[in-house]
Amino acid sequence: MKLCLQTLHDITNEIANLVLSEHGWNPIDALRTSWASLCKAFLIEAGWFREGITPKTSEYLENGLKSTGVSVILTHFCLLLGNTAGRQITTVPTDGAVLFRLAALSLRLWDDLGSAQDEKQDGFDGSYVYYYMKEHEVSLESAIKHTMEMISDAWKSLNKECLLSNHFSQIVKKAILNSVRMMRVMYTYKNQRLPMLEQYTQLIFLEPI
């Protein structure tokens, strides 16, 4: 564990120094905050699993927005883009930014939905679909339908925010939108495989033009 933490510490400082050398300012506080939020979310989920606790769906989702790692990924991406994008990220709490939250919500739901639809997926870190079934005493089909509706609503809200929000530049908005588009490809499971990703890979690398 000490080796993992030391490696994370070294990489984080390396990225901060890179931004400092390239753009003239040190984003170490933003990087540390994003990683601390992610690690705390992991510890909460580990506590639920250890104690056999079934959280409320609202509680699970609120923590799940952080445990997806979306904020960490987008924070690093925006900081490396340059001064404008990087400083935009540091002026709002990443876990509280609406665009970040909607992207994280989409990933969390797509991941849990993919696990629920693949009978061979036996995750131990919880699932919104499972918790919704248990909390509302509904069938798997009803829970999946509800989750799909939430994903659709999140996508509509994300498009609306990208059109109306003036806080982030277009390049940041584009990065967030593209990350959400990628999520369905990455989290459509079948027999512990990713058929949609395999199809795209074949089209890009194997199919003749």
Q: Where are the domains of the chain?
A: 28-205
**φ, ψ dihedrals at 113, nearest 5°:** -65, -40
Taking only the tens place, the pLDDT of each residue in 2-37 is 898 899 999 999 999 998 898 888 889 989 999 999
Model confidence pLDDT, tens digit, residues 28-79: 998 999 999 999 999 999 999 999 999 999 999 999 999 999 989 988 888 8
Average pLDDT of the chain is: 84
What is the dihedral sign for C-alpha 166, 168, 172, 177? negative
The pLDDT value recorded for residue 170 is 86
At 121 the pLDDT is 47
User: Which two tokens mark 171?
Assistant: 């390049």
CA 111 to chain centre: 9
pTM score over 0.85: no
Confidence tier at 88 by pLDDT (50, 70, 90): low
* Helices assigned H by DSSP within 69-139: 70-81, 83-90, 98-117, 128-136
Pairwise CA distance, residues 177 & 68, whole Å? 16
CATH 3.30.429.10 fits 28-205, yes or no: no
Q: Using one digit for the tens of pLDDT, what is the confidence trace for 150-181? A: 999 999 999 999 998 777 888 888 888 988 88
Please answer whether residues 3 and 9 qualify as being in contact, where contact means their C-beta atoms are separated by less than 8 angstroms: no
**Distance of alpha carbon 22 from alpha carbon 6, whole angstroms:** 24
